[in-house]
């Protein structure tokens, strides 16, 4: 497998995992940070199947990430992970119905420009 394909798989798995974590936390609600409630909140959180699946996908993405950095320079590969930001913004808007402001959209365009410049080096 080429490093580019491995990277794409790593990004897709990680982004999917993050979306599932957010979806699961939308079901659970805010995680309490008071010392007396943290354990109860964590049990409720980790009882949510979408949260568990999200972690599985993120871990799976990490395995592909290890394959990527074993093949290319980290200084080249790491900026490519920013493609995940673009996917997260787009998929959060599409699936989680989050609003995407003009400023956030412009930020994504700047990220795209940066990834393009890194890929040309």
Q: Which two tokens stand for residue 74?
A: 């980290």
Q: What is the pLDDT of residue 87?
A: 93
Q: Which two tokens stand for residue 81?
A: 């992970």
Mean pLDDT, the chain, as a whole number?
93
74 has pLDDT over 80: yes
| Contacts with 100 (C-beta within 8 Å, 6 or more apart), sequence order | 89, 92, 93
Q: pLDDT of 37-68, one tens digit each?
A: 999 999 999 999 999 999 999 999 999 999 99
Q: What is the pLDDT of residue 108?
A: 87
83 has pLDDT over 90: no
Q: What is the pLDDT of residue 112?
A: 83
């Amino acid at each position: 497998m080429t490093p580019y394909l491995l990277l794409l798989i790593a990004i897709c798995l990680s982004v999917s995992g993050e979306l599932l974590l957010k979806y699961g936390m939308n079901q659970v609600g805010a995680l309490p940070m008071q010392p007396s409630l943290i354990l109860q909140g964590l049990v409720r959180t980790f009882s949510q199947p979408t949260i568990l699946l999200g972690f599985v996908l993120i871990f799976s993405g990490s395995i592909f990430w290890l394959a990527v950095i074993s093949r290319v320079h980290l200084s080249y590969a790491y900026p490519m992970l920013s493609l995940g930001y673009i996917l997260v913004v787009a998929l959060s808007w599409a699936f989680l119905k989050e609003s995407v402001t003009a400023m956030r959209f412009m930020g994504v365009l700047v990220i795209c420009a940066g990834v393009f410049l890194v890929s040309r080096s």
